[in-house]
Amino acid sequence: MVNNYIIRFLFAAFLSIILGLLYMGIGRKYIARIRRCYAGPFYQSYIDVIKLFSKKSISHNWIMDFGVMMGFAGIIATVIFLPIGPFTVFPDMKGNLIVIMYFMTIGYLGMAMGVAASGNPNATIGIARALALMVGYEIPFALAVILLVFVNKSSLLADIITTQQGSILHWNAFRYPFAFVGSLIALQGMLGEQPFDAMIAPAEIASGPMVELSGKFLGFGFLQHGAQIFLETGIIAAMFLGGGTFLGFFSKQLFLYLITLSIAAVFPRYRFEDAVKFFWIIPTSLVLVQLLIFLI
């Protein structure tokens, strides 16, 4: 029984990493095509990760090792609660949205601990921006969650998916379009894509949190980002696009990710305080309008 759960957990973890990196590779190709170049093959991200783990790496103290691992583990631990198509690691848990929202912050906090211990001021600035940005996009996202909890009288993702079955028009994306758009903008912030990439800003603060990470640490950063793409697009896909079979779920995730990248490819970046203001005004009011419509 326990063995069974361990295998299921490992399956989910590896699936999230492998598919996340695949989405990353496809995304890079997609952005390159928007810019009229070709970029590398779609498996470029795997090559990058293997190369990074083969490099030597430098660690400043044990807190840095621990923090980077905690950031990675935090995201992987959240994947446990995500219903991946028809599959969940613990079938009885059914993916409580409140728990998922709590767990998602662990990844960022671990990353914050790790890079703050590296002692580079650029890293500290970067992670401070990332945490400030989180305050921004959590508001519209949490409001959208509250709306769906109201509608379904349940905070379980499994229940939310069940009510969307039947026809495409039953999807929450069509029933609550404003909330969907608000959550899409929040997704943009969660993934840290332009215009909300002030925390990375390579030309300004030298790639922010990653500034001091070398070799395997950056490799874990890559894996974390891959799993994060899988997780966050997965949550939105389950909340608004009705989950589905394995193939349907993955294509919905990829679709959401490509929407994000289409926006990212053509936008410059916000200052992070402007980004927070933007999150508090536009997507928040979109979701609030949807809430009002629902209540009336």
Partner 1 sequence: MLLTSTKDLKDKGFEEILNFFRKKSLWMLHYCTGCGAVELPPTMTSRWDMERFGMGPMATPRQADLLLITGYLSVKSLKRVIYTYEQMQEPKWVIAFGSCPINGGIYYDSYSVINRLALYLPVDLSIEGCMPRPEAIIDGFTKLMKQIDKGEAIGYKKYKENYEWYKKNQREVLERTTPVLEQEE
**Interface ranges with partner 1 (CB under 8 A):** 28, 32, 35-40, 44, 47-48, 50-51, 54-58, 202-203, 206-207, 210-215, 218
The CB-of-22 to partner 1 minimum distance in angstroms stands at 16
90: number of Cβ within 10 Å: 12
* Residue 191 or 218 with smaller CB distance to partner 1: 218
* Residue 211 or 229 with smaller CB distance to partner 1: 211
The CB-of-120 to partner 1 minimum distance in angstroms stands at 9
The CB-of-171 to partner 1 minimum distance in angstroms stands at 36
* Residue 24 or 156 with smaller CB distance to partner 1: 24
* Residue 85 or 219 with smaller CB distance to partner 1: 219
The CB-of-272 to partner 1 minimum distance in angstroms stands at 18
The CB-of-9 to partner 1 minimum distance in angstroms stands at 28
* Residue 116 or 206 with smaller CB distance to partner 1: 206
